[in-house]
Amino acid sequence: MTDLLNLHTHGNVAHISLNRPKAIHALTLEMCEAMGLALLGWREDEGVELVLLDHAEGRGFCSGGDVALLRNSATEDDGVRGREFFHTEYRLNHLLFTYPKPVVAFMDGVTMGGGVGISQPAKYRVATENTKFAMPEGSIGLFPDVGAGHYLPRLPGQVGKFLALTGARLDGAECLWAGLATHYIESEKLAEVKARLIAEPANVEAILDEFASEAPDARLEGNRRKIDRLFAPETLEGIIAALEADDSDWAAKELVAVRSKCPTTSKVALRQFEENADCRNFAANMAMEYRVASRMIMRPDFAEGVRAVLVDKDNAPKWDPAEPEGVTQDMLDAIFAPLPESEEWTPFPAA
């Protein structure tokens, strides 16, 4: 196992705490492997009734995945380790999505990228006043993955497209309103909640309901009509035109956000919405995302996005293509094309 995770059982409750605080618990390959092995073991253990998923310390639940590994893999080994990471992470996402025992994920603090991938499959998802939820991959030339192709199209109205194209950060109240969280609980109560769940795992839903607070008004709800109208076009060019034609300050702000993201990423995200309609189940969605991920890490936009955001931190990436019109249908077809059969993603075997 790894010291980047705390893995315990408390009576009939299994407990995973992410323990990489200096990186806001960003997931490494080793962490994903260890979590998958632990969950597979608990799946077969009749003594385990419930799984808790949280972070040990620090200001966030999980900030994403191991971007350094992905970037180095793209430049050093033709993406081999990067594909291994995605294959393992997506298996973990799928295992949580299909898990036969209830999982409670505590989205206390930063919950982005890979953190979304391990919290959204959970049956119970607890947001707090500290929650900062986002899918910011467009800023580094990747794309909303870890199941976002399944989750985002199922959010109210055009909210999913809005999140994918702007990288907007939602607070806990907004997560509850959108259905990304099932409960809103004040962070000062979480220790007591976990103690109660460990003592009474059969009463998980009643305990979460008992401790839930009324969330503040969700700002996202107040913008719902604008989101549904301006993000309704099917193309990136159409959405940009709609935002440009609106004279509100809100539209101007979101136009800046959309234009700052990698155009290829944004078009890939919109294509995910289309492709997911044909995915027969979550595993098919993950197979689709794996094909895309294996190609997106090898594109120059990814290295450039990481340079601009995480290395030089000038936040001035030079995307290629630089404009949406430069991202052609043929380019997208190649990104989404099936892999050779021996290289396709596969889930863990069923129980």
Q: Which residues are catalytic?
A: 65, 114, 137, 145
- Give the C-alpha separation, 144 to 296, whole Å: 11
Q: For residue 252, give both structure tokens.
A: 């101007």
Q: What is the dihedral of CA 37, 40, 45, 51, to 10 degrees?
A: 90
C-alpha angle with apex 291: 287 to 296, nearest 5 degrees? 140
User: Contact at 8 Å (CB) between 324 and 239?
Assistant: no
User: Contact at 8 Å (CB) between 156 and 214?
Assistant: no
User: Contact at 8 Å (CB) between 110 and 132?
Assistant: yes
User: Contact at 8 Å (CB) between 241 and 251?
Assistant: no
- Beta strand 5-10 with 13-18 is antiparallel
Q: Count the alpha carbons within 13 Å of 2 in the hemisphere toward its beta carbon.
A: 19
User: Contact at 8 Å (CB) between 293 and 66?
Assistant: no
- Is 295 strand, coil or helix? helix
Name the helix (H) or strand (E) containing 304. helix 300-306
Exposure string over 123-157, b if 16+ CB within 10 A, otherwise e: bbbbbbbbbbbbbbbbbbbbbbbbbbbbbbbebee
Task: Please give the backbone phi and psi of residue 220, each rounded to the nearest 5 degrees, phi first.
Answer: -60, -40
User: Contact at 8 Å (CB) between 23 and 63?
Assistant: yes
- Give the C-alpha separation, 297 to 66, whole Å: 12
- Is 197 strand, coil or helix? helix
